[in-house]
Each structure stands twice: as structure tokens, then as C-alpha cells.
Structure 1
Amino acid sequence: MTHPADAAAVVDLLADRALAGPRRLGPVRLVCVDGPAGSGKTTTAGRLAARVGERGPTAAVLHLDDLYAGWRGLEGSLWPRLSAQVLEPLRRGRPGRYQRFDWPADRFDDWVDLPVPDVLVLEGCGSARRAADAVATLRVWVEGPRDLRLRRGLERDGEAARPHWLTWMADEEAHFAREGTRGRADVRLDAFGMMTG
């Protein structure tokens, strides 16, 4: 397969693949956008959902940042909560409802309703773990150089967050190695939205 020449063409390709793929989560096509923090997953997920929506189907983005139990939340209760609150209801054709994590308050807070979309873009570190394989239509890996990712993170969260970012980066590296996430991805992108090998 030849690689598209620009980021817009890549988003078109992702939308094509998502909409042509099987519904494995009840009536929903699940697209998992995974990769290290600061790599460009949020941008990719937003562009993909917008492109799907332009074609007529409904699309929603769910950011795992809203579900992590803080800086050490990549593992632990994340996937069981996501499954119980979102994935299992959607699989049955019912809306999901999840409790959003309030990062400044360091606790779970308000509840968010998630209507049943045609395509759900699940974005965040750990979204394409092996537990998602049975329900994912498409797994997208987004990566970027460590220094660029850390710089992006500190620009967003401030220099005081550096120790948290460094711990998170170590946690995600161990997670991705254990899960083999990059190697299992259907599509791999760089930090600027272009396809890689």
C-alpha cells in the first residue's frame, strides 16, 4: 500500500477503513487511537471523528484522560471501569455513562452520558491494549520523539508537572512493551499525522 501524501489524505484513509470495517461492539465501530502521551493522538482522533461525521455517520470521541485515576491511572481500574460504564452498554446498543476524573481535585466527579454513535473513537494511552482486540474495528498507533512529546506535555500542563510526566512516560513505555501495542496496530502514524512503516 502506498502512503498518502498529506495528513488530510491520511485522515480520509482512516475514515475509509473505520467505516468499511466490521461492527464489533454491537452496533458501534470502535477505533482505538493509542500511543505515547504528547504524540498527537487527540488531534488525530478529533480529525477522524470530524471526517466520519462529514460523511453522515455519527461519531464520538472518548478521551481516556477523562477516565484515568490520575497520573498513575494507566492500569488498575481503568479498563474494568471503561468496560462496565461504556463498552458493555454500547455492545448492547445502549448509551454509555462514565464518571469523569477531575485532575485538579484528584478525584472522580461528574457523570457524562455517551449516546450510541456509529463510530466511537477511543483516544488515549492504553486504548488499544489486547483487551480491546475483540471489539476494535481499527487500531491506530501515533508516535513521536520523546523530547517533542515531553515538550508538548509541559507546554500544556506546566513545568511543575515534569515529575508526573516522567513517571507517566516510564509507565506507558512498560505498558506498550507488555501489550505489544505498536506491533499490533493496523495503522501507524507519526507526530504530524503522516503514516510510518
Structure 2
Amino acid sequence: MVLLDGRSGSGKTTLGAALASALDAELVGLDDVYPGWDGLAAASLTVSSSILRAESPGYRRWDWDHSRQTDWRAVDARAPLVVEGAGALTPASARLATLRLWIELDAPARHTRVLGRGDGDSYGATDLWDRWAAQEDEHLRLHRPDALADVVL
């Protein structure tokens, strides 16, 4: 079980997909779990309480177009798993993981990456970037995911 955390635009999704492919693992991206633009803390809790639990692991997928939870996505508890997203690594989830990764990248480079991707106009070029960064700041303050990581990239 691999947990991959870092701030927006740091490369979590790209690395997570590559790791899942190399490990023949299931991939859960927290972008499917965050309950809206103010949902980093809620999704972070979902990692340890639902996605990584021993019995019936899974999560409710978030429909960004309709701003609501939708279908239940089961996770195979017997298969290798990679969970990537801001908020993935907390003291509670760290205890359940085999490998814990933190990706570090400076804010200007991350912002440039976000502006260049598909959701850049709706996210990186608006106040949502600052709104999300404040939640990342709180996650870092409360949980110190960088200090919980086995590897910092």
C-alpha cells in the first residue's frame, strides 16, 4: 500500500499512475474523493476510515459537475494499492501504508503546471488556487505529511 502526498501541481497524479502501473496496483486519486473545493480534510479522513480499512474498503465518488457524492467504488483489499492526492498522508493513514511518499516542488513551478493542464483555467487562474492552498497549509500544519514520509521527492 503506497500513499503519495504533496501540494497541488507537484506531480502526484503522474507519479501515482506510473507507480500503479509498475506495481500492477489499483490507483485511487483523491480528486475522485474530495467533496468539493473545501473538501481536503474530509477526503484526508476518508483515506484511513474508508479507503484503507480492512473490511469493505472503498469510497463514494464525487461528481464535480453536480457537486454531490455519487456511486460507491469498492477497493480490492487483497490487491496492491496506490492512493495519491493532497491529504493522503496523515498519522492515521501512515500506520496502514507500506510506503509513504511526499513530493516537494516550489509554488511558482506548481502553479505553472496547474495552469498548463486541463483544469488550469477553472482552477489555477482563479481564487480556487488560494482557497485550496489554504487547506494544504492546514494539512501540513496538522499532519506534517513530509515528516511522515519514508521518501521525500
TM-score bin, normalised by smaller chain: 0.7 to 0.9
Partner of 1:51: 22
One-letter code aligned to 2:98 = T
The percent of aligned pairs where both chains have the same amino acid is: 37
Alpha-carbon contact 1:153-1:165 (below 8 Å) kept? no
Larger radius of gyration: 1
Distance 2:70 2:100 in 1: 29
Give structure 2 stretches of 5+ with no counterpart.
none
Distance 1:170 1:145 in 2: 15
Structure 1 pair 185/82, CA: closer, same or farther in 2 (3 Å)? closer
2:17 is equivalent to residue 33 of structure 1:
no
Structure 1 pair 184/86, CA: closer, same or farther in 2 (3 Å)? closer
TM-score between the two structures when normalised by the length of structure 1: 0.69
Partner of 2:131: 167
Distance 2:147 2:64 in 1: 31
How many residue pairs get aligned? The number is 150
Aligned match for 1:69, one of 30, 35, 53: 35
4+ aligned runs moved over 6 Å, structure 1: none
2:149 is equivalent to residue 185 of structure 1:
yes
Give structure 1 stretches of 5+ with no counterpart.
1-29, 54-58, 190-197
Distance 1:110 1:154 in 2: 30
Q: RMSD over aligned Cα, in angstroms?
A: 1.8
Instruction: After superposing the two structures, state which structure 1 stretch, 155-164 or 171-180, moved more.
Output: 155-164
- Greater percentage in helix: 1
